[in-house]
């Protein structure tokens, strides 16, 4: 049986891969790695991981990630830690003759000043938004690193670029979490304390959000069937939604819709990052995406049930 190793295996997407893995249990032995198992910022520990498990396939999800304000306030950490982790994993995948490596980028690393919708060809066509350029360039280097191994050695190393991912097992930290999970936590506290549900910024930015289990299913489809580099993994453009409406859906799931306040003294970040999934759908055909309202409801229910251990 082939060994499929998942770095970042206890995070948002890693847990979603685990949730759907029963569909593949006869084909792969899944190994889920967290930072408690191996420190991938250390080459010797990364090498020890590969030596122990000798994976045939790797899904590389491990990263130093965070929301808008973490990206803005921790640029050195976001750049250096991700560069080191990605170098170590890609290098070991080559050295240990991994048959296929899928690494996750993000649509937030694409250029800021572009026409919309963004497609896969845009990645290196200009600088990313100033708010997350350190993280963005570290991820762009991961794509370049994978490409040169493909070109020089024929390694089947590919990258995928998910849009904003959400779901159970997310990072719900108020400061370091991405916008949707942070708002789920913030609304929970506002209701608990009978306070206004304050959303930073005007609420006007537009985003495409993909439910984590949908993303896991797409990654496994690509693992088994496709070798194109840098596919964008997202819901269609028609599913784009404002942060204002995301806040309202979250508040609705708590029954707390009448206490929403927008604090426009905070930065909105990039207004929109609309991406095209034309290439993805041309490869995989029709795909049933989770409705955003249902996805938020599931995520809120998970958070409320697990909130003491999810922060």
Dig out the tokens for 75 from the structure: 């640029």
- Give the end-to-end CA distance of the chain in Å, rounded to a whole number: 36
| Short-list 206, 204, 208, 209, CA closest to 262 | 204
Tell me the backbone φ, ψ of residue 101, rounded to 5 degrees.
-120, 125
What's the CA gap between 152 and 261, in Å, rounded? Answer: 54
CB-CB contact of 90 with 7 (8 Å): no
Q: What is the crossing angle of helices 179-192 and 292-306, to 10°?
A: 60
Alpha carbon distance 175, 155 (integer Å): 39
Closest CA to 73 of 274, 269, 311, 273: 269
206 Cβ contact partners less than 8 Å away, ≥ 6 residues apart: 240, 241, 242, 243, 271, 272, 273, 274
Q: Which of the following is catalytic: 28, 69, 135, 149?
A: 135
What 8-state DSSP symbol labels residue 65? Answer: -
DSSP 283: H
**Phi, psi (5° rounding) for residue 158?**
-130, 160
Whether 135 sits among the annotated catalytic residues: the reply is yes
The whole-angstrom separation of Cα 183 and Cα 197 is 9
| Residues with active-site annotation | 135
């Amino acid at each position: 049986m082939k060994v499929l190793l998942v770095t970042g295996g206890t995070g948002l997407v890693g847990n979603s891969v685990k949730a759907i893995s029963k569909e593949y249990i006869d084909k792969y032995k899944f190994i889920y790695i967290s930072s408690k198992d191996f420190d991938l910022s250390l080459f010797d520990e990364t090498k020890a991981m590969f030596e122990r498990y000798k994976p045939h396939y790797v899904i590389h999800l491990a990263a130093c990630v965070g929301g808008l304000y973490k990206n803005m306030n921790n640029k050195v950490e976001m750049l250096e830690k991700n560069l080191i982790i990605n170098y170590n994993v890609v290098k070991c995948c080559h050295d240990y003759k991994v048959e296929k490596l899928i690494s996750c980028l993000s649509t937030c690393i694409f250029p800021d000043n572009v026409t919309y919708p963004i497609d896969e060809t845009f990645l290196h066509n200009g600088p990313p938004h100033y708010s997350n350029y350190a993280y963005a360039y570290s991820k762009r280097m991961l794509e370049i690193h994978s490409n040169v191994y493909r070109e020089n050695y024929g390694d089947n190393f590919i990258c995928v670029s998910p849009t904003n991912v959400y779901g159970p097992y997310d990072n719900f930290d108020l400061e370091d979490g991405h916008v949707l999970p942070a708002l789920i936590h913030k609304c929970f506290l506002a209701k608990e304390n009978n306070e206004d549900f304050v959303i930073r910024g005007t609420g006007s930015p537009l985003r495409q959000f993909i439910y984590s289990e949908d993303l896991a299913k797409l990654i496994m489809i690509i693992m088994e069937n496709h070798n194109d580099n840098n596919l964008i993994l997202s819901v269609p453009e028609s599913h784009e939604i404002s942060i204002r409406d995301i806040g309202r859906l979250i508040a609705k799931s708590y029954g707390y819709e009448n206490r929403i306040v927008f604090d426009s003294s905070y930065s909105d970040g990039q207004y929109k990052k609309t991406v095209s999934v034309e290439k993805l759908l041309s490869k995989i055909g029709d795909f049933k995406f989770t409705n955003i309202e249902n996805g938020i409801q599931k995520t809120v229910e998970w958070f409320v049930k697990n909130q003491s251990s999810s922060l």
